[in-house]
Amino acid sequence: MWALIRAGLRFSCRGAALALALGVLGGCGEEPKGAPDRAAAAASVPADTGLARTYDTSCKLCHANPASGAPLTGDRLAWQPRLQQGVDSLLDHTINGHNGMPPMGMCMQCSEADFLALISFMSGQHLQ
């Protein structure tokens, strides 16, 4: 019986080592082109000073942090499916909250025009 347990343990250790090696090697390779990194997203600032202040205090915490799950500022690929939902859906998600996004995007004083300007900046697409 102990021989079977030892054989099973030896097999599971080998399997775990193989899975670890494949996981490490699977992480090698090039980064996808076009997706900004955290530093690029954090360095992005709207040209308008008022909008830049709002972005810095309300949006940047999540939209410059890949761990948040929010689309990064400047990541056109991540923003594309959201933009395809339309402006009304984007505003609804921003105002009422959606998934991990808090209602009003943590900007209680923002107007719909402010939200559209911020989304335009972060997505790299002009919205009206």
| pLDDT, tens digit, 9 for 90 and up, residues 61-77 | 999 999 999 999 999 99
Burial of 127 (0-12, 13-18, 19+ CB in 10 A): middle
Which residues, 6 or more positions from 104, have their beta carbon under 8 angstroms from its beta carbon? 94, 95, 97, 110
Q: Where are the domains of the chain?
A: 1-30, 38-123
| pLDDT, tens digit, 9 for 90 and up, residues 63-120 | 999 999 999 999 999 999 999 999 999 999 999 999 999 999 999 999 999 999 999 9
CB 78 within 8 A of CB 71: yes
Fold topology of 38-123:
Cytochrome Bc1 Complex; Chain D, domain 2 (1.10.760)
Q: Report the C-alpha dihedral over residues 86, 65, 40, 43, rounded to 10 degrees.
A: 100
